Each structure stands twice: as structure tokens, then as C-alpha cells.
Amino acid sequence: MQRSVNQHFEYNIQLRNTVKVITKVTTKDIYWHLMNKKPCEATACSKWELMYPNFVFNWDKIFALSYSFCTETKLQSFQFRILHRYMLCNKRLYDMKLRESPLCEICDEVEDIPHRLFYCQECKVFWNQFGAWWENHQLEC
């Protein structure tokens, strides 16, 4: 989207292949301009890949999973926030200078997203119990 000023001192905007005076631009113009843009990879993807270099990420499939496996909006939103690394944890709050320490209050390790969801002592208890429940559930099926 490029901007310019014409001889009448009106702002012009280039949308797709046309130039329009800004006062004549409709939401439909902006919608189609955005729809025709090339999709870009979320910055969170490269951060996850850096954290787990041995894992092969199929991002199209990963992003589609949250919508194909569950219909609960809150769970979809939760998965979206995890994938986009938009989840508050002590490390993030510390980086934003909103906390004095990045450490977890339970186990004194740096609390980032993986720690908060998987590696914290409290989470390990949950995952162990869930694993046991899942094994029993699998045997019943």
C-alpha cells in the first residue's frame, strides 16, 4: 500500500492495481487488498524451530489442528496463543520489565512457555497423572 499526495493535496493510496483518493477507499477495497497479499510466516514459527531444531514442523497442519480437533472456542484460542507465543509467563513479563525476576515461583527455573506448560514440577505431576489416565483409557477402548 503506497501513499502519495495529488495536486489537490488529497492523499492517494495504491491498492492492488489502482490508485484511489483516500476518502474514496472502501472497506471492500482494503479487504481485497489484504486478501491478495502473500501470506507471511508467523514470527513465532521461527522461534519454535530455533528452540526445537530436531523437530520437523509442518506449520500448515499444526495451525489447522486446533480447528479440526476441537470446536471449543476457548481451547482454540488457547492453542492459538501457544502457537503464536502470546502467553504471559514470568520470562516474558521480565523482558517487558513488568516483573523483577523471570524465575518460576514454584521451582526457581526460568519460566518460559515450555516450562509453564510442560517442565514445571507442578505440570509434571499433572502430565504424569494424565499419562496414567490416558493409558487406562486406551486399554478400555
Site string for Zn ion, 99-118 (x = CB under 5 A): -----x-xx-----------
Instruction: Give least dist CB 48 to Zn ion, A.
Output: 20
In degrees, rounded to 5, the angle at the alpha carbon of residue 128 between the alpha carbons of residues 125 and 129 is 85
| Range 120-139, binding Zn ion (CB under 5 A) | 120
| Range 47-106, binding Zn ion (CB under 5 A) | 104, 106
Q: With beta carbons less than 8 A apart as the criterion, state whether 103 and 90 touch.
A: yes
Partners of 15 in the β-ladder: 18
Please give the size of the binding site for Zn ion, defined by CB under 5 A: 4
Half-sphere exposure at residue 99, Cβ-oriented, CA atoms within 13 angstroms: 15
Nearer to Zn ion, 42 or 107 (CB): 107
Neighbouring CB atoms inside 10 A of 111's CB total 24
* Footprint of Zn ion (CB under 5 A): 104, 106-107, 120
